């Protein structure tokens, strides 16, 4: 029976970042993973045809490469094969009427693009940034703090209150605005669609209260970080982290599903796997999990205050996601040449159409006209496909996990299971939209693989029924209410059990934030 300082349940990138910090400090660490290899949603495979390397789930890492974990671990990771490729055009938008826009990393270039689309919009966009600028450093600093800590509380208080006054700050008011309201000062429907659409990648919707603040924040994050992806595929980050952990003495065991966290006298002493093996921890157990799994399963045999367990039972999951992975006989022929350098553009018919598609998805209907992002990794990284060929990913975020109907009344959704026929019919609908933006689609398609909410749910229990974001991100499950109102931080009801991952602050995506936060907490003990 092994004994370690820290046992980590699950091996998503946040868990691996925590393990890298802990092993670097000389702590003995065991990481237990239920799947065949570590990495969680960071996985690169030849899904379609031999030689075509697709990022099965997560792709770009702009929030990670601009955070402290990458800054502090970068040299060690690069020594172990991690190389990021980037672009100066992280995103853009292609409208159905043929209009396009790009979001450059250069502020001056963005102002020029906004003015090109509508005179005066550059000034309006600059004003949006000016309003948030006094708060930016504090806001992004919070991404690397436990929001329930005294340090974070002081920052939050200063953000919400006017300096030297009794009232609330403009930032406090912006927390309850909508993305649509935030972009209303822009005259161009193209720019409005390009900026407001990105809130869906944060689990929010353009007309949802609380989404407004994320328009300037996401825009600034993309301008600061670009759209970096590891050369060779997203999983290369995992390979480098795993090698670093092992080089520092850590252990990683795959195909080992943890069934229970063992608690004695109010403290965790170890874990038991589904195969009956026990591993013991001297300092802490860290769980890459959602609060419902933690309190209703991993700590099922432990006495937990009834109100907290009741909150865990009510933890909600959000919408599902469909990803269509394509192998192409040639690169996509964008009418706008700039799009050969754009990281992840949206294809849409405008903000109204975008929100209509979302509303249909929220009503558990297949959207009649889906809007989505497209990324073509081979634009930056030709090693991802055979010479002259390309890969493409279409990511539709507003789909229902269990569709009960079709907004266009054309697809029979049956019992709501994403079976082969439903998946094929919906894929055809998405590809029809793509064909209006990219002339050689679908003719250039030579291979196809579709990830559905059912695929996601089977792969990762943190997705619940198929939510890739680890739980709904509306205001009731955000910030200090995440993961639970009764647990507004990463430390759980058991003092030496910690949570990290998408269900905790700062949320989903490849950001490394919760791994960094939990590592610092443990290293301070």
Compute the average pLDDT of residues 324-349. Answer: 97
Q: What's the pLDDT at 155?
A: 96
What DSSP assignment string belongs to 298-309? ITTTS---HHHH
Task: Work out the average pLDDT over 245-272.
Answer: 98
Measured between alpha carbons, how far is 437 from 457 in angstroms, rounded to an integer? 31
pLDDT tens, position by position, 154-173: 999 999 987 766 789 989 99
**Rounded Cα gap, residues 490 and 518, in angstroms:** 7
Ranges of beta strands (E only) in 445-524 are 445-451, 497-500
Q: For the residues 415-422, what does the mean pLDDT come to?
A: 96
Q: What confidence tens digit (pLDDT) does each residue in 51-102 have?
A: 999 999 999 999 999 999 999 999 999 999 999 999 999 999 999 999 999 9
Contacts of 456 (CB under 8 A, 6+ apart): 57, 320, 321, 463, 466, 467, 468
The Cα 82–Cα 334 span in angstroms is 30
Please, are residues 193 and 93 in contact by the beta-carbon 8 Å criterion?
A: yes
User: According to the model, what pLDDT value does residue 83 have?
Assistant: 98
- What's the mean pLDDT in 407-429? 97
User: Is residue 280 a contact partner of residue 264, using CB atoms and an 8 Å limit?
Assistant: no
Pair of tokens at residue 421:
């026929």
217: Cα within 13 Å, side-chain hemisphere: 22
pLDDT value at residue 127 = 96
State the chain's mean pLDDT as an integer. Answer: 96
**Are residues 110 and 191 in contact, defined by beta-carbon separation less than 8 angstroms?**
no
| Model pTM score | 0.96
* Residue 516 and residue 524 in contact, taking contact as beta carbons nearer than 8 Å: no
Is the predicted pLDDT of residue 110 greater than 60, yes or no? yes
Burial of 137 (0-12, 13-18, 19+ CB in 10 A): exposed
Task: Report whether 525 contacts 283 (CB < 8 A).
Answer: yes
The CA distance from 522 to 491, in Å, is: 10
If you search the block for the tokens 């680890």, which residue do you land on? Answer: 470
The Cα–Cα gap between 386 and 329 comes to: 9
Decide if pLDDT at 1 tops 60.
no
CA torsion 38-60-454-503 (nearest 10°) is: 70
What Cα–Cα distance (Å) separates residue 485 from each residue in 285, 352, 501? 22, 34, 17
Query: CA end-to-end span of the chain, whole Å?
Result: 25
What DSSP character marks residue 33?
-
| CA–CA distance, 501 with 469 (Å, rounded to integer) | 10
Q: What pLDDT shows up at residue 215?
A: 97
The model's pLDDT over 397-406, given as tens digits with 9 standing for 90+, comes to 989 999 999 9
472-513 residue pLDDT tens: 999 999 999 999 999 999 999 999 999 999 999 999 999 999
Name the residue among 429, 364, 452 with its Cα closest to residue 402.
364
> What pLDDT is stored for residue 45 in this prediction?
98
Spell out a b/e string for 378-405, using b for 16 or more CB atoms within 10 Å of the CB, else e: bbbbeebbeeebbbbbbbbbbbbbebeb
Q: Is the pLDDT of residue 314 over 90?
A: yes
Name all contacts of 333-340 with Cβ < 8 Å and 24+ positions apart: 333/438, 333/439, 333/440, 334/94, 334/437, 334/438, 335/98, 335/100, 335/437, 335/439, 336/94, 336/100, 336/102, 338/89, 338/92, 338/100, 338/102, 339/92, 339/94, 339/100, 339/102, 340/379
Q: How many CB atoms lie within 10 A of CB 75?
A: 8
pLDDT at 163: 74
Q: Which backbone phi and psi does 289 adopt, to 5 degrees?
A: -155, 175
DSSP-derived 3-state class of residue 144: coil
SS3 category, 252: strand
Residue 484 φ/ψ, nearest 5 degrees = -145, 150
Residue carrying structure tokens 């992806």: 229
Written as six digits, the tokens of 411 are: 């697809």
| CA–CA separation, 6 and 500 (whole Å) | 14
Backbone angles phi, psi at 455, to 5 degrees: -60, -45
Q: Which of 275, 280, 287 is nearest to 263 (CA)?
A: 280
pLDDT tens digits for 176-193?
999 999 999 999 999 999
């Amino acid at each position: 029976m092994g004994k370690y300082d820290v046992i980590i349940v699950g091996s998503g990138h946040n868990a691996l970042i925590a393990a890298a910090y802990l092993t670097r400090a000389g702590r003995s660490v065991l990481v237990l993973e239920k799947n065949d290899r570590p990495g969680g949603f960071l996985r690169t495979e030849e899904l379609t045809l031999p030689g075509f390397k697709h990022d099965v789930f997560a792709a770009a890492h702009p929030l990670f490469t601009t955070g402290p974990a990458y800054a502090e671990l970068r040299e060690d990771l690069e020594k172990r094969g991690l190389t990021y490729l980037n672009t100066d055009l992280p995103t853009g938008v292609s409208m159905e009427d043929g209009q396009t826009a790009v979001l450059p990393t250069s502020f001056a270039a963005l102002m020029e693009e906004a003015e090109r689309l509508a005179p005066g919009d550059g000034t309006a966009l600059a004003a949006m940034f000016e309003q948030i600028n006094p708060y930016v450093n504090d806001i992004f600093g919070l991404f690397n703090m436990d929001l329930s800590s005294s340090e974070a509380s002081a920052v939050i208080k200063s953000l919400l209150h006017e300096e030297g006054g009794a009232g609330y700050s403009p930032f406090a008011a912006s927390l309850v605005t909508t993305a649509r309201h935030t972009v209303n000062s822009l005259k161009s429907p193209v720019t409005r669609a390009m900026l407001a659409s990105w809130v869906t990648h944060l689990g929010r919707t353009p007309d949802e209260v609380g989404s407004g603040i994320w328009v300037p924040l996401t825009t600034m994050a993309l301008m600061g970080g670009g759209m970096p992806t590891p050369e060779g595929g997203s999983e290369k980050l995992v390979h480098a982290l795993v090698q670093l952990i092992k080089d520092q003495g850590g252990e990683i065991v795959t195909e080992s599903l943890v069934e229970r966290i063992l608690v004695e006298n109010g403290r965790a002493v170890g874990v038991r796997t589904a195969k009956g093996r026990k591993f013991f921890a001297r300092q802490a157990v860290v769980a890459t999990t959602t609060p419902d799994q933690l309190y209703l399963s991993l700590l099922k045999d432990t006495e937990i205050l009834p109100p907290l367990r009741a909150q865990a039972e009510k933890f909600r999951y959000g919408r599902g996601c469909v990803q269509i992975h394509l192998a192409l006989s040639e690169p996509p022929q964008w009418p706008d040449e700039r799009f050969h350098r754009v990281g992840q553009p949206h294809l849409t018919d405008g903000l109204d159409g975008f929100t209509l598609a979302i509303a249909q998805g929220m009503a558990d209907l297949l959207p009649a006209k889906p809007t989505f992002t497209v990324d073509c990794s081979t634009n930056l990284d030709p090693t991802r496909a055979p010479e002259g060929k390309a890969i493409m990913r279409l990511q539709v975020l507003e789909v229902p996990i269990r569709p009960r109907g079709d907004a266009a009344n054309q697809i029979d959704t049956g019992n709501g299971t994403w079976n082969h026929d439903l998946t094929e019919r919906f894929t055809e609908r998405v590809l029809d939209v793509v064909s209006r933006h990219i002339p050689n689609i679908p003719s250039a398609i030579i291979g196809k693989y579709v990830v559905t909410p059912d695929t996601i749910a089977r792969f990762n229990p943190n997705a619940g029924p198929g939510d890739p974001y680890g739980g709904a991100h509306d205001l009731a499950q955000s910030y200090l209410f995440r993961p639970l109102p009764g647990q507004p931080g990463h430390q759980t009801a058991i003092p030496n059990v910690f949570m990290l991952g998408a269900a905790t602050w700062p949320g989903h995506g490849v950001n490394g934030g919760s791994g960094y936060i939990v590592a610092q907490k443990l290293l301070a003990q």
